[in-house]
Structure 1
Amino acid sequence: MSNKNTQALSAAGVSIWIDDLSRGQLNDGSLQKLVDEFNVTGVTTNPTIFANALKNGDDYAEQVAELAASDLTLDESVMEITTRDVANACDLFAGLYQSTKGVDGRVSIEVDPRLARKTAETIEEAKKLFEKVSKENVLIKIPATQEGLEAITAVTAAGISVNVTLIFDLERYRAVINAYLLGLEQAREAGHDLSKIHSVASFFVSRVDSEIDKRLNELGTDEALALRGKAGVANARLAFQVFEQALETERWKTLAAQGANPQRPLWASTGVKDPSYSDTLYVDSLVTAGTVNTMPHKTLMAVADHGGDGADGIAGTYEASNEILDSLARVGIDYDDVVELLEAEGLEKFDASWEELLDGLQQSLDAARKS
């Protein structure tokens, strides 16, 4: 029997993905349990997740020993480890992938974040990851930097499904949608089956509140403080409006008639960072059909324990959401400055996690060579 709260989310049309993966979860059946009991239908990964997995478990010892005895570089060794976990997770979700015709049963793996400002290198790495994992249900994560937009188009045009990550800005989100549609148009011209190409656009939520709340606290006025904890949800709700508007265009309708799949909005960064807010805020407030919510394990368990009833949290909210952003501007919050900072910080955090992953693997390889 699945949990009633996660079942309600699923029934409302929300795909529940878990923002976590380790070889231990694959080996001990805990990931399968999340599928069976908590309606989890996909996985997202990032460098932090892999760094923690490698650091906290002995499940990699055998492969590390093999890699230590090989001639592979450190970067190549990281790819061997991460793609094996992702490929095995893809196998676990293969049934869901088939039964949902590619909508769910997805596992994401991220391009080396050090390439986020390098278009050609991102394209090359994305194709390499896709070939290495060699599973139809993998999603290749590409950050939505200005340089990443062309890569999103090129990788989609090659028939590869993409998870566009690190989106904070509504204007950038419009550019992401355009990049996907252009990729589909190029894929069609190249003879690819559009029905096989899927994509999600990962719109980050809690980090928006964290930065804006900090600025509101510094302002300290009653008007400013009354806006705390409202920006992230309002921004995400307006992102869904952007998505709906894209579906009304003739450009999209033409592609849809040729078998194309919509690029679903995915709510990322849904773990609540301010303990004064409900720990299910970024799930309950963003329920609507046709979306994905990727949750840290802690958030998923909070939803399972005391989440909402699956009621739509987006319909009818656009006017109020616009008013929240207008009110933020009136008290002196610079939206463009916030989202620019968040993108830069996000890339810095991923770079730091990647270096941590490399350092951790290097230590493991060194230890294996000495043993």
Structure 2
Amino acid sequence: MFGFDVRIARIVWTALLVAFFLFIVYALRSTLLVVVFAIFFSYLLYPLVELVERIKPARMPRTVSIGIVFVVAVLLFGMAGLLFGSTITDEAVRLSQQLPTLLDPANISARLPLPEFLKPQRAKILGFLTEQLQNGTGQALPFAQRLGMEVMHVATNLIYLILIPVLSFLLIKEAPLMRAEFLNALGTARESLWSGITEDLDGLLSKYVRALLLLSMATFVIYSLVFSALGVPYALLLSGIAGLLEFIPFVGPLSAVVVVLAVAAFSGFPHLLWVLVFILAYRMFQDYVLNPYLMSEGVEVSPLLIIVGLLAGDELAGVVGIFLSVPVLAALKIIFVRLRARARVVQSPPDRNPHVAN
């Protein structure tokens, strides 16, 4: 009756180990987040390292190639900061100074542009906006407010701006050795399986990070050109926000639309309908042409699974969970497919040689 069941003991021990591992991950979530961003930054620069490795002299050490790439990256980021940083900063400061006036309910009625068919409802719309602003519930822009708080929290920890490039440099430098040691530790029986998994994961992350970067840059450039041509207030600032939010799947672009329309509306921009038409046209082009072209070989996950993953990531880790949900789902799919293929090979009977039977 009180005998010791080895099978149950193993199940309990495994459950305790998993729970302990999840607790450690949760306790070290800030450190792990820095490592994750360093990995993403490494994949962003790794193609340049490979390019320098192909054209460099044979005697030049690999560390020098990595250093050259990082110096070029710092120069490019510095040039981008000089070109756009001051304008974006000035617009952000100006918007923050004018925000109390823009959100003053007494001035919204005269400044808020409305189409002809909505002008009879101006009083009701104004009442709704006034109630939202006075209550301070933030129901109009819940995700944008939460994202802003997290961005400000990260900005206060400027040490991350130093740690992430340093960790990325070390990861690129040590990645081949780490991969070889990892495969050797698994043994020859599992080396081929996990070698394929690591290659698939490497291809997935590299294509995913580059696709996100290209989508973000395309959004920033196109938004800034069109907003400047239309005369949208704070054009470069809003374009930069939209570009950054492209890194957050599904929810980020939607939040960018809300932020752009809200700022333009409260600023009294008269051609709000043209802004909306442009955004809808660009989203259709990006979602049905550009995004599938860039993501086709990198992330192949069901849209239903992506939506479920986004919701789960939001519940588990907020904005960071949403950002990581798509690559995590794609990585789990790769591991599952590889393990299932390996199981089929192991379970399949060996082919019989017909010549032996004769």
TM-score, normalised by the number of residues in structure 1? 0.21
| Higher RCO (C-alpha 8 Å, min separation 6) | 1
Larger fraction in strand: 1
Structure index of larger Rg = 2
Between structures 1 and 2, the one with greater helix share: 2
Instruction: Calculate the TM-score normalised by the size of structure 2.
Output: 0.21
